[in-house]
Chains A and B, each alone.
Chain A
Amino acid sequence: MPKCTIDGKEVEFKPGENLITVAKRAGVEIPVFCYHPGLSVVAQCRMCYVEIEKMPKLQTACSTNAAEGMVVKTQSDPVVKGRAGTMEFLLLNHPLDCPICDKAGECDLQDNSFGHGSANMRHTEERRTYVDVDMGPVIEKNMNRCIHCTRCIRFGEEVAGIHEMVAIQRGNNIDITTIDGNPLQTEYAGNYADICPTGSLTLRDFRFRKRAWMLKKTSTICEGCSKGCNMEIQHEGNVIYRCVPRENLEINKYWMCDEGRMNYHYTQDEKRILNPRSGATFIGWEDAIQTLKDQINEKPLTVLVGSDLTQQELENILEYTKNYHKGSSVYHFGTEGVFTSAQDLPVDKILKMKSKTSNLNGAEKLGIKSVQEMKSASDVVLVFAGGRANVQSVTKKLEGKKLIGIGVYSLNEAESFSMVLPSLSFTEKDGTIFNHQGIEQKLKRAIQPKNTIKAISEILMLTANKKVKVGAN
């Protein structure tokens, strides 16, 4: 492999790699604003200056590919002065309203200003200000904070496939915006907040709810569809505040859709059932398990499992029915019209898949048949679901049967059930899922289960036991 030298260190590189990438490998971080690995290179912010031997001017690392024998300095005097100059220019018109800005604590402008800027201000003129237009429900805009990196414009054009964020006017008067206060049309708008290097585009859903530095972060997988976008649940005090995408170049690159990003809300919704319920009344676990035992009593059963459950949960259910309800039939369900992975096609050219559950592929791997193949059902039907599977699509087929729900249900859904035993949502459990490509991924528990809800494995164990004795929970 060819080699170049960065700050005295020899580094190998693949032809076509830019200096930011190569430097990173050598442990040298070059500050950036406009550069984003998932977007085209524009070299506009002028922050990533480096000095290259035999070149008279400073070069931008983002737009310079490494070359054999290239000698690069990232800390020389001209570089330090160049970056300080850029920082000064960027802060001329920035309001420095960090104390009331949601981006504070995770803001590139803050970080780079601290690392490369000056504590003094030589600019005494009035700052440039804008009147902001509305941009719809997802993103809150504050143009005064904007540093014109154009990441948002490029994201719209190159990733979301819609040129709705634009630069109007030119020069010092540029306004980066949708036109006429039109709401953002893309279903991927949340990414605008992620890639904005300052607090110009922030997530309305997260607005003023938590300071960024207080959040704990758990790496997990989105359960919104079979894409399996890698994401991070950010939480504090057992409350989830937001979900953001994590880089995975094989699957979601750097992005996720708004539906997936906002999906976590139902797990914290007041309509979510968090205690066992029989009819319209909440009961204790001992009564609930006893009632369940009485009703299913080792008979062969029809068992429906959501393709939103993990491999471990599905295996437990299969094991349980095989051992305690011989002759039972198990079917998976999830999205209306998408019964097999062959039917699970992309919804758009970006990320979204038709299957609104995350583990259709995993259910098929375990040999579970689709609910479409169900010809008849037992009098009592067990319905296991993780919260994403479309429960109504199966309950309406089973009118007149006695339905018992085990899993994550809302009050509305519970109306079709004679009994509900609440279980863990994707934010509260570990487990394995297979995305539409067949890639195995791990869900990770971010927060502790609320109230008395129990894992499916525990519910099944209690049901299998001869004597019902539920420990304090």
Chain B
Amino acid sequence: MEKHLSEKFYLAMKKLEPRYPNKKALILPALHQAQEEYGWLPKEVLEEIGTYIGVHPAQIREVASFYTMYNLKPVGKNHLKICTNVACCLRGADELMNFAEKKLGIKCGETTSDGMFSLSEEECLGACTTAPAMMANDEYIEELDVNKLNHFIEKMKVLKI
């Protein structure tokens, strides 16, 4: 079978193996590690993880699809996840979402045609006392307002990262 996951992936897993009483417990860490490499989790990668863990590939898909952070479809280079839960909602999250949709020209749940941005709604991020908050890829941006959001999107566009 052709390998899709890197040496780095297997090294990271080797390091984690002794920390759990069985290999199955490595499913979540493996999915995180693979997503870090690919940005999302293609079918072949899920299958390879199944082979590595020693379970049926359906089992990997079953687990991965339960959690919202695992992308089973490709996402944009910058994934903006705006929290719209209670605390953020009370502090104007809807307005931020509307702004982001207009600014990026996409609806929540979509990716821009150039693949630069994906926009989604996030359930509570646990940053309620600094609401509204969003996650941009792995980073939290808190006490957000339209200006801050605009500035962030502009910066990403210029940096093309």
The interface residues of chain A lying within 8 Å CB-to-CB of B55 are 163
Question: Is B56 touching A162 in the complex (CB atoms < 8 A)?
Answer: yes
Q: Does A54 interact with chain B (Cβ within 8 Å)?
A: no
A157 nearest in chain B by CB position: B59
A162 nearest in chain B by CB position: B56
Nearest chain A CB to B41 CB, angstrom units: 13
Nearest chain B CB to A165 CB, angstrom units: 8
CA distance A37 to B138 in the complex (A): 46
Q: Which of A162, A163, A170, A180 has the most CB of B within 10 A?
A: A163
B67 nearest in chain A by CB position: A170
Q: How many residues of A contact B (CB 8 A)?
A: 13
Q: Does A473 interact with chain B (Cβ within 8 Å)?
A: no
Q: Does A179 interact with chain B (Cβ within 8 Å)?
A: yes
Question: Is B43 touching A180 in the complex (CB atoms < 8 A)?
Answer: yes
Question: Is B61 touching A164 in the complex (CB atoms < 8 A)?
Answer: no
Interface residues of B in 92-125 (CB under 8 A from A): none
Question: Is B43 touching A166 in the complex (CB atoms < 8 A)?
Answer: no
Q: Does A92 interact with chain B (Cβ within 8 Å)?
A: no
Q: Does B65 interact with chain A (Cβ within 8 Å)?
A: yes
CA distance A178 to B61 in the complex (A): 10
* Majority secondary structure of chain A interface residues (helix, strand, loop or mixed): loop
Question: Is B66 touching A164 in the complex (CB atoms < 8 A)?
Answer: no
Question: Is B65 touching A163 in the complex (CB atoms < 8 A)?
Answer: no
Q: Does A167 interact with chain B (Cβ within 8 Å)?
A: yes
Contact of B58 among A164, A169, A170 (CB under 8 A): A164
Nearest chain A CB to B23 CB, angstrom units: 14
The interface residues of chain B lying within 8 Å CB-to-CB of A170 are 65-66
CA distance A168 to B43 in the complex (A): 14
B68 nearest in chain A by CB position: A170
Q: Does B39 interact with chain A (Cβ within 8 Å)?
A: no
The interface residues of chain A lying within 8 Å CB-to-CB of B57 are 179
A180 nearest in chain B by CB position: B43
Nearest chain B CB to A294 CB, angstrom units: 62
Nearest chain B CB to A222 CB, angstrom units: 28
B46 nearest in chain A by CB position: A179
Nearest chain B CB to A349 CB, angstrom units: 16
* A–B pairs, 14, beta carbons within 8 Å: A162-B56, A163-B58, A163-B59, A163-B62, A164-B56, A164-B58, A165-B58, A166-B62, A167-B62, A168-B65, A179-B57, A179-B58, A180-B43, A182-B58
